Amino acid sequence: MSRNETYVKAVGRALADAMRADERVFVIGEDVAEGGPYTTTAGLSEEFGRERVRNTPISEAAITGVAIGAAQSGMRPVLEIMYIDFLTLALDQLVNAAAKAHAMSGGQLTVPLVLRTQGGAGQRGGAQHSQSLESWLTHVPGLKVVMPSGAADAAGLMAAAILDPGPVVFVEHKALYFRREDVPETIEPIELGRARTVRTGDDVTIVATSRMVGEALAAAQELAEEGIEAEVIDPRTLVPFDLDTIVASVRRTNRLVVAHEAVVHGGFGAEVVAAVQEAAFDDLDAPIGRVGAPFAPIPFSPPLEDAYLPGRQQLVDAVRRLSVGSPSLRLPYIGAGLTSA
């Protein structure tokens, strides 16, 4: 049994299920008792009360610090940082406290918290409300990083994140919130660190994250009309990362394109490229392509933001450059709005 549900409602239902199952789970953040900025937590305060759905002042450092203390005391907080851009104000708590407490205490402390936040552009939020900063988080030992691309995965991964004994950063994309998908009636946890092959193909592997998974599927459909069958893989979690699934695919297709919405420079795609070429260098028949945004602040102007965002066309162009018999295999990445690197 399943229900057709939006991404945002699927996350909210996973939260409600976890709160019903475990009284230690509570929600904390700015305006969460009123539903939060995108209605994810709507209805929770009515069911569970404001002791377990707590509004906070506008202080990301305070929200995170309180959640860490509660987690170390045996609770399971789910905190919301309204926009990933504002993680800058909570990084000291998240990186120097939450991520390190277990190791520095010799295993005596655990920090079972989930930090929910919204990333991504396309909503006319400007440069300070539209960034994709997940690569910052993947560089910190002790943090797990989750990036669901659809409603069903968002629900199952949220269930798993709440059960995890350590801190998990759960990055949701604003542009995906109101897209619908069939979600199981009973939400079961999806193992963190297990990729999903969204589309099978034999000619090229596309590894895409979050919003770019849908763009990769659209690109694969266009490429199929040209006789190029692309395999699309969604890692779902960046830490832990399912390298084995991707390497197995590359060993069949012999070509790889990595795509994310974040700027190409220093993005998580660079880690994927390095890991794959180390594991499967002899299987690659072409340089690995990279698709992402240009190295510039995100424009507020709608036409400029649309031009800035990577999508289907950049993926199609990148794959074409790596296709069988192509004389042009020299472009290491394609950034939206860029022609060379």
The residues carrying an active-site annotation are 60, 129
Helix (H/G/I), strand (E/B), else coil: 206? strand
Query: ∠ CA 257-263-266 to the nearest 5 degrees?
Result: 85
d(CA 219, CA 213): 10
> One-letter amino acid identity for 104?
M
Q: 68: buried, middle or exposed (CB in 10 Å: 19+, 13-18, 0-12)? A: buried
Q: Answer whether 98's CB lies under 8 Å from 111's CB.
A: yes
Edge to edge, what strands does the sheet with 334-335 contain? Answer: 196-199, 230-234, 204-208, 256-263, 289-293, 334-335
Whole-angstrom distance, CA of residue 90 vs CA of residue 69: 14
